[in-house]
Structure 1
Amino acid sequence: MTRQRHPLPEANIYARTLLAPEIRPDKVALWHWPLGAPAMVATRFGDLIEQTNRVAALLISEQIGPGDRVLILVPMSPELYATILAVAQVGAISVFLDPWVGRAQHDAACAAAAPKAFFGIPKAHVLRLLSPAFRRIPFNVIVAEGFLGNHFRRRLAQQTPDATVVPVDPGDPAVIAFTTGSTGRPKPVRRSHGYIMSMLDALNQHESKAFDEVDMPVWPIMLFDGLCHGRTSVIPRMKPGKIAEADPAVLLAQMATAGVTLLTGPPALYERLLAHLTRIDQPLPVKYAFLGGAVVSADLLQRVQDRMPHGQAIAVYGSTEVEPVASLSAAEMATLPDGMGVCVGTLHPALDVKIVRLSPDPIRLDERGWEPWELPVDAPGELAVTGAHVSIDYDEDPDAWAANKILAPDGRVWHRMGDSGYQDAAGRLWLLGRASHVIHTPHGPLFPVVLERVAGSVPGVARAVLVAVDGAPWIAVVPTTEAGPGVCSDVGKALAGWPIARVVAQPSVPVDPRHNTKVDLDALRRQLAKGGLS
């Protein structure tokens, strides 16, 4: 049955963001550090609204409107947010591609999205030379701070700001994001106007999200949390995909200038900051530090908390399709009982969770409903969640839907998180590693987090990774600089109770470009195949 649409201007994320009652035109919306500038520059909400309305007028002049797709390959900047909001304002759909995939995947994703316009930095426009799908886009805009962006700025200056908001239904798509996540194949995640606002409202429910706080998030979508609730946000000065190489002194200077009170980023960012703060013996100068994007160890969470004598360190668990799922403060972590895996805290109150049997195949419920699939308390399986801020659709990709969603008898759509784990009797969620990374042996399943924690606790081990090599379970170990020659032997002894085929030492392990934390297992297997093992 076709869903009834009820379009309203106030359902548009543009209206929910820049026309919200919390918005004060004179208040700083964004701090950013332009290329070559000596210091940060402030963009006020009034400036952002005017720029957004000018971009909207430009889109309208190019006959781009409701339902049209606009591809955006622009890093975090005032131009990015003005473009996203303008696209929503005219009823069009912003499309984002994962920048870390190959050219063929970019071409396929662009062909599937079929955008009518492309806003991108100069480097992104190189794809127009390489990709037939990119060359078919009729309207192209170079977004840049230097002379290459002059044409775009002149076009905007010629526009009369248009404040008209196109009515949308809450279920209408606002964003399509092609993301590889941890699965490799880009999935076109469709985020509706209603879903985005539910997600941002869920993020905003934490006690830290007061109107006068100042955010500094690493991820573009998280900055919308501040914008739509009238808070000032700071764009961190770092290269995209180079989080682990960010200059901590620069980030701390940004925090001091803007008075940052909320910091959000992956473990790699916090490791970088902690190393610097330890050297200079200074605290982390924020009230709340949110860690996410990858599994957050109890050790890291506590070390961040130790640098925040008057603040709180909080681990947040979520994914592209649902954010947040659960959270755990360092104070709560300190009171946890011993458990198998990494605790990510209690479920967000707007969500429901089930633990289902591990399966590489789509899950289709029959007349028996959940009975053959749902597991009891403390039993490990795959996490599945449902709720208002769970993305329930992919853009014209039935295979992705079948692999990642479960349709329940009551009509609710559940999202498979792709993580193995369990729920304890107190309702806390514990992660055991990616479900696809679990190695099944005649002796039972080997869960990555369990073995990696044991191996990582051996003196001389900086990091340990469980990886299947030709189906056999190996442990790749990154030794510390102080490690002795017998570190692999020591790890083997610590794992004597598990059927590990081999323990090998590696100088480093490849990680994903987005978070600089998650291990790229395919790249690690190629690295191991080249030899150099010990």
Structure 2
Amino acid sequence: MSDQFNIADRLRQSAQAWPHQKAVVFPAGQDRQGRYTYSSLTFQQLDQESDRLARGLIELGVKPGTRMALMVRPSLEFIALTFALFKAGAVIILIDPGMGRKNIIRCLAEVEPEGFVAIPLAQLFRKIKRRDFPKARLNVTVGKPVLTSGIDYDWLLGKEWTPFEIIQRDRTDPAAIIFTSGSTGPPKGVAYEHGMFWSQVDLLRDYYQIQPGEVDLPGFPLFALFNSAMGVTTVVPDMDPTKPALVDPEKIIRQMNDQGVTQAFGSPAMWNRIGRYCEEHDIKLPSLKRVLSAGAPVPVHVIKRMRQTLSCEEADINTPYGATESLPVASICGREVLEETSKQTATGAGTCVGIPFPGVQVKIIRIHNEPLESIEQAEELSVGEIGEIIVQGPMATREYFLRPEATRLAKIPDGAQFWHRMGDVGYRDELGKLWFCGRKAHMVETAEGPMFTICCEAIFNQHPRIYRSALVGVGGKPQQRPVIIVEPEQGDFPQSQTARKQLTEELLELGQANALTQSIETVLFHKSLPVDIRHNVKIFREKLAPWAERQVT
């Protein structure tokens, strides 16, 4: 292994090993017959293009550690610029454009970018809000400049390629600041180091046995980084990555078939839509052998539908468990879910997320809402006891950027190491499998004891007319009143008072049949539960709680 830990060096290794293999394929349009046309770069071309861009960034004034906001749509240019920024030693700031204008301004102002590599609209936005970004002097427009500087992508490319020496980085040097989805509070900037990216690549490659020459369609743009580091071709999907629940299944399926995609990553919302479309039209995906889905527990019906689309006997859908601060942690395959754990989930056992990755340690500790100054202060629980999930491993991030209090709350010192508190609750079973029971912040604290969202919601989700549900607490802790809010399947929302009463009685009957949910006496109906932007699947229960309080008072 190289002594250099700049993650961009992994691209160079791929370019040397597979120079003429396609690295990135981008849907450039459609011809008169409606067939896709594609643009592409080989690994050698991607390596050389990012070399030229990196040299241009350095000439612009980028130095090791310079914080640069990257706001470019998924494209050949996005991937080339990502590696170019790494090669130049910059720290990339990645903001989810779907988090809303106020959150974008707040997050960017918090990390104080020294420049923007961005589309014209984002550059115009920067100029209008320039008082919020006083340090942003190194700016590059990707696209036709409009009322912005003349420094653009072509300017960065400069002259013909000549060998470029990647800026040396150590394992612990900063590489990126990636913001959380904000599903349980304001988004926070997670500080990524180059060594963490290396570890993520190795963990994912080795666990899933991903081979060079495979073809991946990633629904999350940054996953192209992992692909290029593994010798895997990236097919940029024709979709808005901020709206996976609105993906056009026909477009994705055509791309998969055009390019012989062997692996695809997407949120449960994306696969829910594609799986339903495939089931309705009796479509198989013959080249696909590995589906990955993360961001929230993947519903059993999604796993079942996606497995039915796969033709290869060894093909499956895998659901890695983790978070922006620590990914991956554990994984389980669809076959195991359907054959072994789904029945337990339906009765309130939580969602099994599988066995931890090799080299990743997981502990369950007693739930605590304050910082823990050392691991000795954490009480480890026995098998089967629900508590906080904490993890340790080379992929776990060390801190939130400029958020010392948040860091102190989320990290537990352990000598020279540390444990990351996932913010989730769960337990380990007698086989060592990890079970997820919900977010700690979403626990409903009643006079009879705590109620855990994922465990309780699964019981009501068994009703064939219910798409998903959310458990919330009304009133003050620890005397909260549990309320279940349900989102019926499309076309099944009860329109009349009689229909609503009938469905309510059926749901309460389900709840009464299980000791975990016998205390729930109130059912509310919601046409579309609020969810996070990134995955379109994490339910904003903290927004639903005040709504529920207004409904029942």
TM-score (norm 2): 0.88
Shift of 1:402: 1.1
Alignment of 1:57-76 (within 5 A): 57-76=55-74
User: Does the CA-based 8 Å contact 1:357-1:381 persist in structure 2?
Assistant: yes
**Is 2:358 the partner of 1:358?**
no
Shift of 1:16: 2.2
User: Does the CA-based 8 Å contact 1:405-1:415 persist in structure 2?
Assistant: yes
Shift of 1:396: 2.8
The aligned residue for residue 430 of structure 2 is 425
The amino acid of 2:331's aligned partner reads: S
Alignment of 1:454-473 (within 5 A): 454-471=459-476, 472-473=481-482
2: CA distance, partners of 1:46 / 1:35:
24
Shift of 1:399: 1.1
Three-state SS of the structure 2 residue aligned to 1:220 is coil
The aligned residue for residue 395 of structure 2 is 389
The aligned residue for residue 404 of structure 2 is 398
The amino acid of 1:198's aligned partner reads: S
Shift of 1:147: 8.8
The 1:528–1:36 alpha-carbon spacing in structure 2 relative to 1, beyond 3 Å, is farther
The aligned residue for residue 171 of structure 1 is 172
**Is 2:510 the partner of 1:504?**
no
**Is 2:33 the partner of 1:17?**
no
2: CA distance, partners of 1:147 / 1:26:
36
The aligned residue for residue 348 of structure 1 is 357
The aligned residue for residue 294 of structure 2 is 292
2: CA distance, partners of 1:29 / 1:356:
43
The amino acid of 2:506's aligned partner reads: D
The amino acid of 2:129's aligned partner reads: L
2: CA distance, partners of 1:160 / 1:457:
61
Shift of 1:36: 7.6
The 1:511–1:201 alpha-carbon spacing in structure 2 relative to 1, beyond 3 Å, is same
2: CA distance, partners of 1:250 / 1:91:
37
The aligned residue for residue 519 of structure 1 is 539
More displaced, 386-395 or 128-137? 128-137
Shift of 1:110: 2.4
The aligned residue for residue 21 of structure 2 is 27
The aligned residue for residue 314 of structure 1 is 318
Alignment of 1:28-107 (within 5 A): 28-34=22-28, 39-107=37-105
The 1:154–1:22 alpha-carbon spacing in structure 2 relative to 1, beyond 3 Å, is closer
2: CA distance, partners of 1:270 / 1:16:
30
The aligned residue for residue 4 of structure 1 is none
The 1:478–1:395 alpha-carbon spacing in structure 2 relative to 1, beyond 3 Å, is closer
Residue-by-residue CA offset, 1:169-198 (whole Å, 9 max, x unaligned): 111011111224432222221111111101
The aligned residue for residue 182 of structure 1 is 183
The amino acid of 2:81's aligned partner reads: T
The 1:101–1:281 alpha-carbon spacing in structure 2 relative to 1, beyond 3 Å, is closer
Shift of 1:334: 3.7
Shift of 1:46: 2.1
User: Does the CA-based 8 Å contact 1:75-1:240 persist in structure 2?
Assistant: no
More displaced, 203-212 or 27-36? 27-36
Alignment of 1:106-505 (within 5 A): 106-128=104-126, 129-130=128-129, 132-134=131-133, 136-144=135-143, 152-161=152-161, 163-285=164-286, 286-310=288-312, 311-336=315-340, 338=344, 340-365=349-374, 369=376, 372-408=378-414, 410-471=415-476, 472-480=481-489, 481-482=491-492, 484-485=499-500, 486-496=502-512, 497=515, 498-505=518-525
2: CA distance, partners of 1:87 / 1:191:
14
More displaced, 99-108 or 467-476? 99-108
Shift of 1:208: 4.0
User: Does the CA-based 8 Å contact 1:479-1:487 persist in structure 2?
Assistant: no
User: Does the CA-based 8 Å contact 2:353-2:433 persist in structure 1?
Assistant: yes
Flag structure 2 segments of 5+ consecutive residues without an equivalent: none
Shift of 1:470: 3.5
The 1:10–1:460 alpha-carbon spacing in structure 2 relative to 1, beyond 3 Å, is same
User: Does the CA-based 8 Å contact 2:183-2:539 persist in structure 1?
Assistant: no
Residue-by-residue CA offset, 1:294-329 (whole Å, 9 max, x unaligned): 111333222321222422121211111121111111
The 1:240–1:527 alpha-carbon spacing in structure 2 relative to 1, beyond 3 Å, is farther
The amino acid of 1:238's aligned partner reads: M
More displaced, 357-366 or 216-225? 357-366
Give the alignment's Cα RMSD to 1 decimal: 2.5
Three-state SS of the structure 2 residue aligned to 1:355 is strand
TM-score (norm 1): 0.91
The amino acid of 1:359's aligned partner reads: H
1: CA distance, partners of 2:114 / 2:468:
46
User: Does the CA-based 8 Å contact 2:508-2:521 persist in structure 1?
Assistant: no
User: Does the CA-based 8 Å contact 2:66-2:114 persist in structure 1?
Assistant: yes
2: CA distance, partners of 1:159 / 1:523:
53
Shift of 1:274: 1.2
Shift of 1:365: 2.9
Three-state SS of the structure 2 residue aligned to 1:39 is strand
The 1:505–1:109 alpha-carbon spacing in structure 2 relative to 1, beyond 3 Å, is closer
Shift of 1:157: 4.5
2: CA distance, partners of 1:242 / 1:291:
15
Shift of 1:23: 3.8
User: Does the CA-based 8 Å contact 1:266-1:515 persist in structure 2?
Assistant: yes
Residue-by-residue CA offset, 1:262-310 (whole Å, 9 max, x unaligned): 0111111111111211122111331111121111133322232122242
User: Does the CA-based 8 Å contact 1:181-1:320 persist in structure 2?
Assistant: no
1: CA distance, partners of 2:283 / 2:80:
36
User: Does the CA-based 8 Å contact 1:51-1:82 persist in structure 2?
Assistant: yes
2: CA distance, partners of 1:289 / 1:492:
36
Aligned residues: 522
User: Does the CA-based 8 Å contact 1:290-1:315 persist in structure 2?
Assistant: yes
The 1:393–1:201 alpha-carbon spacing in structure 2 relative to 1, beyond 3 Å, is same
The 1:222–1:444 alpha-carbon spacing in structure 2 relative to 1, beyond 3 Å, is same
The 1:108–1:511 alpha-carbon spacing in structure 2 relative to 1, beyond 3 Å, is closer
User: Does the CA-based 8 Å contact 1:297-1:342 persist in structure 2?
Assistant: no
The amino acid of 1:27's aligned partner reads: Q
The amino acid of 1:188's aligned partner reads: G
User: Does the CA-based 8 Å contact 1:57-1:159 persist in structure 2?
Assistant: no
Three-state SS of the structure 2 residue aligned to 1:42 is strand
Shift of 1:102: 4.3
Three-state SS of the structure 2 residue aligned to 1:323 is strand
1: CA distance, partners of 2:134 / 2:77:
23
1: CA distance, partners of 2:278 / 2:366:
44
Three-state SS of the structure 1 residue aligned to 2:18 is coil
2: CA distance, partners of 1:299 / 1:28:
35
Q: Which runs of 4+ in 1 moved over 6 A?
A: 145-150
1: CA distance, partners of 2:463 / 2:220:
33
1: CA distance, partners of 2:209 / 2:146:
41
Three-state SS of the structure 1 residue aligned to 2:302 is helix
The amino acid of 2:328's aligned partner reads: P
More displaced, 200-209 or 382-391? 200-209
Residue-by-residue CA offset, 1:47-93 (whole Å, 9 max, x unaligned): 21222112112111122111111111123222122212111112221
